[in-house]
Structure 1
Amino acid sequence: MKELLILLRKGSKSARIAAIVNTIIALIKGTAFFVTGNVAMFAETMHSLGDAANQFFVYIGSALSKKSPTKRFPNGFGRLVHLVLLGAVLIVGIMAFETIKEGWSHVLHPTPSKGVLINLAVLFVGVLLESFVLYKAMKEVLHDANVPTNGIGVIVKSFGALSRAKPATKLVFMEDLVATGGGILAIIAIVVSKATSFHQAEGLASIIIGLMMLYVVGKVFLENAAGALGEADSIMEERISQLLMKDPDVKDIVSVTVIKEGEALHAELEVEIDPTLTVAEADDIKDRLSERITKEHGVLDITIQFDEDDGVANWKNPS
């Protein structure tokens, strides 16, 4: 029990906050839907419920992935977060299907919107809360990518740095981006339905929100399927190769492989050095390279192999 509590403290902060906030939002939206029967509010309720459940599992998965290696699992549990995310997106997929189905039913059989003021007030509060969580996720994206910035720069740079974020952070970012956009879309649909006779607007909004949710499902599924298999990090491979070639004792590079292990990176290197060096000198080089490379953001461990210099420079900078 004590170990579990320690692991939970290490779980994704953005996922934990998002799970709590979306649970509150889902309860508020669900109450508004039962009072008014508004289909756009139903879509938003389902969306928030899906996000809350998803982000809760993401938080648990990100925490358990930091469990220390055991005799049975000597490589650790880093990829566990990918497996949890693959399961979690199924929840969002089911919610998306129900949202699209309900929206299509409203398009075929439109009814005037009820409880407009209640729905608009609830959606406005929801958008504010989702925006808060989204901004937190944006800051964590930049933290994961090791990109320092403040103010409006957080919003602008977070999109460019998203590919470097941890799996849990990336999921929270995408879900809350869609949730914020979906809330704004639902507000517009309710206003249009009330101001005009186009009552199908709420149904169309529900379908669009459901399709946005399906996009997140597809995106997260593909990325975490790659992560579960063991995806290479080409950016870090280039970065490490540049560090190696700056070392005076490294004559050439045979190979550089960096594999994403959940939220951490595992590097495997093979370099050529002077064959006349003693074992002690080679060991000093290995220690120096290991210390330098493990300082890189996200690198958890490193394996270095030496080969004798053949006098032919084969390594070319990938850039």
Structure 2
Amino acid sequence: MMKDLFSLLKRGNRSALAAATVNAVISIIKGIAFFFTGNVAMFAETMHSLGDTANQFFVFIGSALSKKAPTKRFPNGFGRLVNLVLLGAVLIVGIMAYETIVEGYHHILHPAESTGFLISVGVLAISVILESFVLFKAMKETLHDVGVEAKGLGIIHQSIRHVGKAKPATKLVFLEDSVATGGGLLALMAVIISHYTPYHHAEGLASIIIGILMFFVVGKTFLDNAAGVLGEADEFMQNKIGALVLEDPEVKDLPEITVLKEGDEFHVELMVEVDPSISVAQADDIKDRLEEKILKEKGVADVIVEFDEDDHVNSWDNRLKN
């Protein structure tokens, strides 16, 4: 049993595990700094990092368990488990976001100058560097998920462009660490402003903005994974696979195609129109060719191919126009 569990964990999302590990270290450092300085912006960043740690750890576990093979009780597999885990994980971030906003609001009402300026600046600067490192790894993981190659600064541009097509776990890590890096910079600016000017409200304001950003992550993650739990059709993959199918010279048309995304996997069902005069053996050859070609696409778990006779009406072109 334990051997099977460890085997599954090895298949978990690595960017989520790396992010959880780094954020755990960061949250401890920030927590210690908050204890000694009482800095409200540091409190917000501590809560942010703790939320990210818990969230990303659950993401890693969920992405690993979703790879479990189908059983008699669950013949469709566990692909949607990662979506369910992420729905639960966002509750943690939501609670911490609320606490962050409340603490910032109290600081605005009763502003006070924080101590330990150098400690706060040093810890936040190190945190931003570490968060940036994790974010860059998430960017590269995003490109790996979608099969896009890029180098140098192109990694940043291409990952932002394609993040919507990445696996749910990778997308969440990308989103959280983007917010974490931006939040760290915001907190750093607030600490500097509060130290060098009389405007001590800056730390409270930064805390509220960081909390709002955390709620943005909660909302985005909830909507994406609620759709995943229900079973979401992936239009990009539908069009991609549809184009592959129509490359076969014996396929006349493609009136129906469904690509259902469950966790990190795609389940493909399609109906193709062929010449009604072909033999069963020829139809079986077409089916084998199509299945082999489609299963080579990244993330495709299974394919169901059905046949119908050619009605000489181009359904695929009309579907794309609509």
TM range, smaller chain = over 0.9
Counterpart Cα distance in 2 of 1:318 and 1:85 = 33
Secondary structure in 2 aligned to 1:248? coil
Are 1:119 and 2:124 counterparts?
no
Taking the aligned partners of 1:311 and 1:210, their CA distance within structure 2 comes to 58
Distance in 2 between the 1:166 and 1:192 partners? 39
Cross-structure match for 2:143: 142
SS of residue in 2 equivalent to 1:246: coil
Query: What per-residue deviation string (whole Å, max 9, x for no partner) do you get for residues 254-281 of structure 1?
Result: 2011010110111100011111111111
Pairing 1:124-273 to 2, within 5 Å after superposition: 124-273=125-274
Q: Cα deviation per residue 1:46-105 (whole Å; 9 max; x = unaligned)?
A: 000000011000000000000000000000000000000000000000000000000000
Aligned residue number for residue 299 of structure 1: 300
**1 CA distance for matches of 2:13 and 2:312?**
48
Q: Once the 2 structures are TM-superposed, how far is the Cα of residue 311 of structure 1 from its aligned partner?
A: 2.9
Q: Secondary structure at the match of 2:59?
A: helix
Alpha-carbon distance between aligned partners in 1 of 2:230 and 2:310, rounded to the nearest angstrom: 33
1:112 counterpart letter in structure 2? E
Aligned residues: 319
For normalisation by structure 1, the TM-score amounts to 0.99
Question: Where has structure 1 moved over 3 Å in runs of 4 or more?
Answer: none
Structure 1 residue ranges without an equivalent (≥5)? none
- Alignment partner, residue 312 of structure 2: 311
Partner of 2:26: 25
The AA in structure 2 aligned to 1:78 is: G
Measured against aligned partners, the alpha-carbon deviations of 1:175-231 in whole angstroms (never above 9, x if no partner) come to 000000001000100000011100000000000000000000000000000011011
SS in 2 for 1:310: coil
Residue identity matched to 2:238? E
Q: Secondary structure at the match of 1:144?
A: helix
What is residue 66 of structure 1 aligned with on the other side? 67
Give 1:2 deviation, angstroms.
0.5
The alpha-carbon deviation at position 240 of structure 1 amounts to: 1.3
**Secondary structure of the corresponding residue to residue 55 of structure 1:** helix
Distance 2:313 2:226 in 1: 39
Unaligned runs of 5+ in 2: none
Matched, 1:75 2:89: no
SS at match of 2:246: helix
Letter in 2 for 1:56: F
